[in-house]
Amino acid sequence: MERNLILDYDSGRIAAKLDRGEKTLVQNVRLQLHAAERLALIGETGSGKTMTALSVMRLLPDNVKMEGGKLFFDGRDLLAEGSIRPRLGTEIVYIPQNGLEFLNPSRTVRKHLYDSLKKLRVPRRDRESRAMGALLTAGFDEPWEVLDKYPFQLSGGMAQRVTIALAACSQPKLLIADEPTNGLDSDATERFFLLLDRVFPEAAKLIITHDIAVASLCDRVQVLCGGKTMECGGARQVLRDARHPYTRALLAALVENGMRESPPLRAQEGFCPFYRRCTLASDVCLGEPPHRIDGGTEWWCCRS
């Protein structure tokens, strides 16, 4: 059964205004995400993952603009509607990389939860029971123990679960998680995903990660390089039988160095952002790489 299309997004061109002109950061990245589906966005630092996610939430920095493109959420055209603010924290929820940094150090867990519940128009008399319920849902067996704690009194794992409790106050249709399992071991990572599925079974989940193990827990994978999509498809297929030279490089050597750019990507030198580092590159690659499709995988490359 085809599930609801929750996110239908095209970045168009996302560019930063700099002192000496403009720099394109992301170009024509298309994302489609259905209810209950997990999509991993992977790539090196600087590949455009976070900028793409910020543009989905329309939270780009002031000097960065999105030109063209589209943003449909649950069938509604959010670019035409204008402000996305009322949907953030309610229908679209962000789970940060570091719960401790995300939480306001001067506010208790109770204050954070009550603020979210107030935004959702939950009557004051119901806020305590709803806050307790959200903490229970997020895996706190004794929620009263954490309700009046400040963030500095929580461990990193507890703070991350508080951010899930905050999300659980509403029933979001779209979750955007930026490196949500950074620093967690593989068991804790798996538990985190089980928790996400238990708390938000129907939500579409966009997971930004540089961790292949995390990507393998998703349904689909989309590989970015230099702000462009290189390859996308079913996670198992892409991670076991990558078609694009960049994906293969990412899965081999680049993973070990934490996916840092080396040397820096220079998208302007050829159409393909991987041009300078690709062992298969030739003059042909200075044109537009063809779009190839085979089974469930799509990729853009002149050679493979």
Site residues, ligand SF4 (CB under 6 A): 245-246, 272, 274-275, 278, 280-281, 285, 289, 301-303
Q: Show the tokens assigned to 131.
A: 């806050």
Comparison of 188 and 280: residue with beta carbon closer to ligand SF4: 280
Comparison of 12 and 289: residue with beta carbon closer to ligand SF4: 289
**In 71-203, alpha helices (H):** 78-81, 99-102, 109-119, 127-137, 144-147, 156-168, 186-199
Q: Show the tokens assigned to 244.
A: 């694009």
Residue 48 C-beta: closest distance to ligand SF4, Å: 16
In which residue are the tokens 């780009």 written?
A: 60
Residue 7 C-beta: closest distance to ligand SF4, Å: 27
Comparison of 200 and 274: residue with beta carbon closer to ligand SF4: 274
Residue 279 C-beta: closest distance to ligand SF4, Å: 8
| Strand 92-95, strand 174-178: pairing | parallel
**DSSP class of residue 75?**
T
Other residues' Cβ atoms within 10 Å of the Cβ of residue 247: 28
Comparison of 194 and 280: residue with beta carbon closer to ligand SF4: 280
Residue 281 C-beta: closest distance to ligand SF4, Å: 4
Q: Show the tokens assigned to 55.
A: 């543009």
Comparison of 208 and 302: residue with beta carbon closer to ligand SF4: 302
Burial bucket for residue 75 (CB in 10 Å: 0-12, 13-18, 19+): exposed
The answer to whether 241 and 234 are in contact (CB under 8 A) is no
Residue 263 C-beta: closest distance to ligand SF4, Å: 14
CA 34 – CA 32 distance, rounded (Å): 7
